[in-house]
Amino acid sequence: MINQAATSFVRLKFELFSYTVIRHIPKVLILLVLILNIKKTSRVFYLPFEIPGTQMAATVPPFGIFIEDEFENEGDGPGSILRHEIVHWQQYRRMGLIKFYYNYLTLYAKHGRVKNWMESEARQLSK
């Protein structure tokens, strides 16, 4: 009995189109759709610790905007960190998840964090 159960488990583990795998495909597809098409509304999280490096905040679509808690009372007025991050969230909404990350990461690799157009746009529009 134990050998048969172990053999069945091994068989299911390696059969890509087994019933066990196929019945989970709709759930995985729904999860992907939810992740890729989240309502695109920003959620702001204030972190009780410092973000590594010189950053004070980060926009991480589709999860939200993360800001160090010392800036919580700064608000979203002109020149604020939250206003800057909201511009990044608008870029994500405009481009979509994959294009946003592709653009940001390639620009970051080529020009650094400060001198890429996405950061320049965020600085300009948050004034």
pLDDT tens for the 127 residues of the chain, in order:
554 544 444 554 545 555 565 666 677 766 666 665 556 677 898 999 898 888 999 999 888 899 999 999 999 999 999 999 999 999 999 999 899 999 999 999 999 988 999 999 999 999 9
Per-residue pLDDT at 42: 78
Pure H helices in 15-125:
19-22, 25-36, 81-95, 97-111, 117-125
DSSP letter at 64 equals E
Task: Supply angle C-alpha 34, 38, 43, rounded to 5.
Answer: 135
Pairing of strands 44-47, 64-68: parallel
Q: What is the pLDDT of residue 77?
A: 92
pTM for the whole structure: 0.69
Please state the domain extents for the chain.
Answer: 2-35, 39-125
For residue 91, what pLDDT is reported? 96
